[in-house]
Amino acid sequence: MNTEYFEQWANFMKKAQKPVQELAQLNLETLKKFDAKQFEKLLELKKPQEVIEFQMNFAIEQGKNSIDYLKKSFEIVEKSGQNLAKEVKTAKEKK
């Protein structure tokens, strides 16, 4: 096999790692947003209406975090797909 093939393969792997690293970073950022102390607050609540209010606020907050996570992850995947499409188009035009 020629060195050009290995260089192309190495270049592809470098580019393939970038979205994986971005997704890993997004996962870490999302986990940092999760506050376990919120559950301690739940133990302090006395009235049923306070528990229900806490649960509703928690669900809304986590829903927003989930939507943000999905939006950012789709942006990463979309950008990666666009870059791959450009490379395929460029490679096809070279042939």
Give residue-wise pLDDT tens across range 4-62: 878 877 887 888 888 999 999 999 998 888 777 777 888 888 999 999 999 999 899 88
Alpha helices by DSSP H, listed for 34-47, are 37-44
pLDDT in tens, 21-33: 999 999 999 888 8
Judge whether residue 1 has pLDDT over 80: no
Report the candidate in 90, 88, 91, 68 with the shortest Cα–Cα distance to residue 80: 88
Q: What is the pLDDT of residue 77?
A: 92
Could you identify the residue written with the tokens 């997004």?
26
76 pLDDT band (50/70/90 cuts)?
Answer: very high
